[in-house]
Chains A and B, each alone.
Chain A
Amino acid sequence: MSLGKAVLEGDRRALARALTLVENQHPDAEEIVRDIHGHTGHAIVVGITGAPGVGKSTLVDRLAGHFLAAGRTVGILAVDPSSPFTGGALLGDRIRMEGRGSGVFMRSIAARGQLGGLARSTPRAIQLLEAAGRDFILLETVGAGQSEVDVMGYADTTLVVVAPGLGDDVQAFKAGILEIGDIFVVNKADRPGADQTARELRQMLSLGPRRAWRPPVLSTTAQTGEGIGEIAEAILEHKASMERDPEVGVRHLHEAERFLRQAVAEQLADAAVARAKASGRWAPLVEEVAHRRKDPIWAAREIVSGEER
């Protein structure tokens, strides 16, 4: 049986193996993705983002437990940064996870040099979990800067998690996250300052453009499980609201276009670089760029066109 078919039948080992092949951009991954593609698109994908230390992992674990108790299956993708120097990564999101057996399938993913808080393989990893029959997919980002913006493209619902006492609140809220959050979570609500953080968030959100969906601000103490049920409800409400939204079709088209464009860019880039390396042009061009004898944009043109300039 092909690996793709085994994934569709819920074989967890096959799923784990397929995730590895997709992550490694192994040639066999193409066939797997082709086999499963028709069986994707039905899961609810929830992106969880926010600064380091706000409690994303604990929140993800409690949400997983909540959905599991409701008889649903859960997949988790937790992305952590790779070292830009060695390529290695320390993936520690499992530390916060309680043993939930095989009802929750969790995969730790190293970003492998991809900026934006997610790994290049993320869209395909989501598809694999969907094909394996997971009802909810929780996608936890690296939690730094840009990541918030990327996660929005992959998730049906984006949770932005903040915590009180992490410096200047207004500063934390201005970096684009107000626009992308569908649900805002003030975690560690048992700490001093939590009410004020929630108040400020609501105030800033009320200044934004009026949309059909008004992002709620919910308070949780993930550690104890306080407020988790409300988040789960809000996720389902948001999903229902999106299905009523007439603009949702347009947004799906935009998303599909973005994915396709990205996939084209990646394939062209891989092919062009491989060609340049094979012809021996790559290393000298890198050197010329490093010594500022050539502009990287012009060097790229040479690689893409295959002609020397």
Chain B
Amino acid sequence: MTESANATRPIRVLVGKPGLDGHDRGAKVVARALRDAGMEVIYTGLHQTPEEIVEAALQEDVDVVGLSILSGAHNTLVPRVIELLHAQGLDDVHVMVGGIIPEEDAEELRKLGVVAVFGPGTETEEIVRFTRSCAREA
């Protein structure tokens, strides 16, 4: 029993696209890279509300939520997701954001508790490395 318990504990990651923009190439590239790194990636598809993303994160019991936002609405969407995560008691879920985020906004998001903000041109290896470091203990 202990044998297999140690052997199988993949990191679970939710990759979601909140808001209205329809460009999910970046999200798919990241989802694919995380899968190829041995993680279980739940991809929710386009046009998700913060409520839907947080409910999915709860049901899927993920270690990490990755939000891809290209619409410029990150200053409203991300705080809302974080607020809802806390409201559900999901304080141990790490939130990462990818997209086109100006540096001063990124700083604000980090202050809110976002563990990483990845801009265009980020190597997928870096995202994989960082996601691994967010894995939960148990």
- Which residues of A are at the interface with B, using a C-beta cutoff of 8 A? 12-13, 16-17, 19-20, 24-27, 82-83, 86-92, 94-95, 99, 101-102, 105-108, 110, 112, 267, 270-271, 273-274, 277
Contacts and interface: CB of A to CB of B under 8 A. Distances in A.
Interface of B: 1-5, 8-10, 12, 31-32, 34-45, 48-49, 51-52, 55-56, 58-61, 88-90, 138
Given A27-B1, A94-B44, A110-B40, A87 B10 contact: yes
Interface centre among A88, A92, A106, A270 (most CB of B within 10 A): A88
Contact of A90 (B35, B49, B55, B60): B35
Given A88-B35, A112-B10, 15 more contacts: A13-B89, A13-B90, A20-B12, A24-B9, A82-B40, A88-B34, A88-B40, A90-B41, A90-B43, A91-B40, A107-B60, A112-B8, A267-B1, A273-B3, A274-B3
B7 to A, nearest CB: 9
A13 B85 CA distance: 12
A27 B5 contact: yes
Interface of B is mostly: mixed
B41 A12 contact: no
Contacts, number: 100
Given A88-B35, A90-B41, A108 B60 contact: yes
Contacts of A88: 10, 34-41
B37 A86 contact: yes
Contacts of A12: 58-59
A153 to B, nearest CB: 22
Contacts of B58: 12-13, 16
Contact of A17 (B34, B48, B61): B61
A274 B32 CA distance: 33
Contacts of B38: 83, 86-88
A108 B35 contact: no
A94 B35 contact: no
